[in-house]
Chain A
C-alpha cells in the first residue's frame, strides 16, 4: 500500500547551485588568509582590532534582529563578512572603543535600517569606516609601522585608549605608500606592495593574498569577476597612460594597483552583490565608474586614498545602472518587431 498523502508543490521539483549562506561562508573563508596575514604583520593590536570589529557587528546584528523578532539572524554569515571587512579597512592600532562604535554604526545604519540582508544600498563595512573617517579623522590616518619586533608582546597604548580620550601613540608610526607618494613623492617598490611589506590598513597590505581569495571565489562562481577586472583595469589604464605622459607627476600603473586599499576594495568591497549591479554589462560599467573615481580622488583630490568614497559612490549609482542598462529581452527590439 502506498502512503495516503503525497507531498505536492509546483515545479521545479529540484534545485541546484549554492545557497546564500554557502556563498557568504565562502567569502569569509576567502578573507581568513588576509586576516591571518594582518595579525602576522601588525601583531596583537590587529588581532584585538579584528575581534572587536567582529564582535561589535555580530552583537549589533543579533540584538537588532532579536528586537524585531527575526530568528537566527547570524546564520546567513553576511554580518561576519561585514565585521571582518570593516576591521580590515582600519589602521591596526586604532583605539578599540572607536572600532566598536564604528561597527555598531556599520550594521545599524549601513544594513539594518535599510531592511537587513539584501536591502542595503551601501556596503555596510564601508559605512562604518566612513563614520570613523568623519568622526576621528586623525586617528584613522595615523599608521603603524609593519613587523615591529615587539608586536606580539606589546599592545600599543592607543589600542587601549579609554572611550572619548585622545589616543596616545607610543610606537613607531609608519607612513603608507600612498601618502609617501602624495606628500613626499616617494614611490614604494611593487614587490613590497604585492607581498604586504608596507604600512597601511590592517588588511590591505598583502595584495597577493587578496587576489588569491578573489580567484577562489571567482572559481567557485561566488563572485562577479567583471567588477574587479573592470575596476582594476580602469585604474591601471588611466595611470599607465598619464604616467607615460609625465612620470614626475603621475605614479605608474603597477604602483597604483597594488598600493592602499585598491585591491581589498576591488576584490572584496565593490563586489558586494547586494550593492552592485545585477547584469554583466552593468557590473562592468560600475567597475569602470569606481575605477575612475578612485584615480581622480587619489591623484587630484585632497586625500591620499579614495577607494572608500569611490565604492560608496558606485553603490549609490548601482540601482540607476540597473535601471538604465537592461539586456535586450528575447524576441524584442526592432529586428523582431511583428509585422
Chain B
C-alpha cells in the first residue's frame, strides 16, 4: 500500500498544473450531431498542400465520397460529410480570419447517416506501403489538434527505424475530454488501429500513454488488450504539456528528442489516440473521414458534452444546437492553453478541431490584467518543459534581438505550449513574443537569396 503511494507515475521535468475543468463533460457519452443546413469544407484542413476538388458545382454527392484529392505526398483528400449537393466551389471563411479555397455543400433534408463503402484494406494481407496509402486516402490527419497528415509520420525515412509506437492519450489540455471518451467507448477501434500502425511503422511494440486523471480509460483499455499484440498501457502524471510529443516520449521512454529533430530520431512514432481509433474504424471499410469527436464545453455552453460532429459544420450552428448563452464573448477551438480564439462564428470546424470552449464576458481572461516588468522570479524558468529561459528570451524579444534569441537561447525549440505565459506574475505575453520572433526569423530566412 505504502509503496504504491510512494510510486509516482512517470513524467517529464518542469511543466505546470492548470485547473482541469474536465468534470463537466468527462462522463457524457459521445452523441451524434444533426447535419447543418450548409457545410463549409476548406481544401486545406491539414498542414501541407491543399487538396484539389474532383467534383463540380451542382453535382450530387454521397456521404463519404471523395470531394477533393490529395496534391502530392504531404496532403490528404477531403470527403463529403453528408449526402447533398455541391453548391459552390470558391472561397470559404476560415479560422485564420482569411477566406481560403473551399467547397460549400448543402445536405439533402433528412440526409441519412449511411456512409459510402470503399475497398477494404486488411492488416493481415497489406504491405506497410499499402496501409500508409490507405491512411492517406482516408484523409486522416492528427486529430489531437496539429492536423499533420498521419501517413507522413508513418513513412520512416531512409536509414532510420522505429522501435516503439506511442499512442497519445494524455489529453493534457484543460476542458477537453474527447480522447477520454474515445478511450472509454472505442477501445476495439483503437486496438485495430494499433495493428495497422505497428505494421506500417515496423515498430516492435506499442504503448498507450494516459494521464492518471483518466483511470477508467486506462482500466478499460487494459481490459481490451489482446494477448497476441505487443501493446501496453502506461499511466503518466497529470501535468501540462504532457500531451506534447516530446514530453510524452520523455515520460514513457526516458528519451529526449534532439533539438531540431523529430521523434523518429529516437526511434519513436507518436500518434494521437483518436486518430488511431479512426484508422482502426475506417480502413477495414475503405472509408474516408467525415466526422470527428469534439468536446463542447465552457461556462457559456448549456448542453456541455462530447459529440460526433460532421467535418465542415459551421460553428454558429454548433453553438445554437449546444445551447450557448447569447452573451458569449470568447470562443476558441482547441483547449484554452494552445487553442485558437475565433473572430467569427461563421467558420467551420475542421479535422484538427478537438474542442470548442466558450466563455462569457465575466469569465474570460480579465481584460485589464496589468503588465509589470519582469521581476526575475524564475517562475517561467521552472515551468518551461524544454529548459529554455523565457525571461531572458522575453527581454531579448522586447529589444527585437531575434537573432540572439535563436543562436544563444534556443528560441526555435519552443513549441509554444504557453506555460511561461500562464505562470508569469507580471503577465508578460511571453509566448506571444516568441511567436512573433519565430515568424520574423522565418520570413527573413524565406526572403534571403538562395545561393
Contact = CB atoms under 8 A, between A and B. Distances in A.
Contact of B418 (A2, A12, A331, A337): A12
A16 B413 contact: no
A19 interface: yes
Given A6-B342, A118-B374, A337-B258, A330 B413 contact: yes
A173 interface: no
B259 A6 contact: no
B146 interface: no
B260 to A, nearest CB: 7
Given A3-B326, A331-B246, A338-B258, A21 B336 contact: no
B438 to A, nearest CB: 13
B376 A15 contact: no
Interface stretch (B46-54, B197-205, B384-392): B384-392
B373 interface: yes
Interface stretch (A36-44, A207-215, A272-280): A272-280
B420 to A, nearest CB: 9
B18 interface: yes
B190 interface: no
Given A11-B418, A117-B375, A273-B376, A327 B387 contact: yes
A335 B350 CA distance: 40
A336 B339 contact: no
A22 interface: yes
Contacts of A21: 370, 372
Given A331-B258, A331-B261, A12 B386 contact: no
Contacts of A338: 258, 260-261, 265
B425 A19 contact: yes
A325 B280 CA distance: 49
A13 B259 contact: no
A11 B425 contact: no
Nearest to B259: A331
Contacts of A224: 378
Contacts of A75: 370
Interface string B393-426: 0000000000000000010010010100111111
A8 B341 contact: yes
B233 interface: no
A76 B370 CA distance: 10
B256 A336 contact: yes
A11 B340 contact: yes
B102 to A, nearest CB: 21
A116 interface: yes
Interface string B338-366: 11111111000000000001010100110
A2 B344 CA distance: 11
B239 to A, nearest CB: 13
Contacts of A329: 259, 386-388, 410, 413
B381 interface: yes
Given A1-B326, A276-B376, A331-B258, A17 B425 contact: yes
Interface in B147-200: 174
A14 interface: yes
B202 to A, nearest CB: 20
A2 B337 contact: no
A15 B422 contact: yes
Nearest to B327: A3
Contact of A278 (B330, B389, B431): B389
Contacts of B316: 2
Interface in B101-121: none
B301 to A, nearest CB: 12
A93 B421 CA distance: 46
A17 B331 CA distance: 23
Q: Is chain B's binding surface mostly helix, strand, loop or mixed?
A: loop
Q: What's the interface size class on B, roughly?
A: 35 or more
B324 interface: yes
A315 to B, nearest CB: 11
B326 A274 contact: no
A276 B375 CA distance: 10
Interface in A206-254: 224
B377 interface: yes
A24 to B, nearest CB: 8
B336 A2 contact: no
B360 to A, nearest CB: 10
Contacts of A274: 375-376
A331 B319 contact: no
B13 to A, nearest CB: 9
B260 A9 contact: no
B258 to A, nearest CB: 4
A186 to B, nearest CB: 41
Interface string A90-114: 0000000000000000000000000
Contacts of A2: 316, 319, 324, 326, 328, 345
A117 B391 CA distance: 15
Contacts of A283: 378
A21 B373 CA distance: 11
Given A7-B364, A329-B387, A338-B260, A279 B338 contact: no
A220 to B, nearest CB: 12
A29 interface: no
Contacts of B270: none
Contacts of B425: 17-20, 22-23
Interface in A36-73: none
A153 interface: no
B16 interface: yes
A328 B334 CA distance: 31
Contacts of A172: none
B372 A15 contact: no
B379 interface: yes
B253 interface: no
Contacts of A1: 326
Contacts of B379: 17
Contact of B422 (A10, A14, A116): A14
A9 B341 contact: yes
Which are the 3 A-B pairs with shortest beta-carbon distances?
Answer: A118-B373, A12-B418, A330-B386
Given A280-B382, A330-B256, 8 more contacts: A7-B341, A11-B416, A13-B336, A13-B365, A278-B391, A330-B250, A331-B257, A336-B258
7 contacts: A11-B340, A11-B341, A12-B337, A13-B341, A278-B392, A330-B259, A338-B258
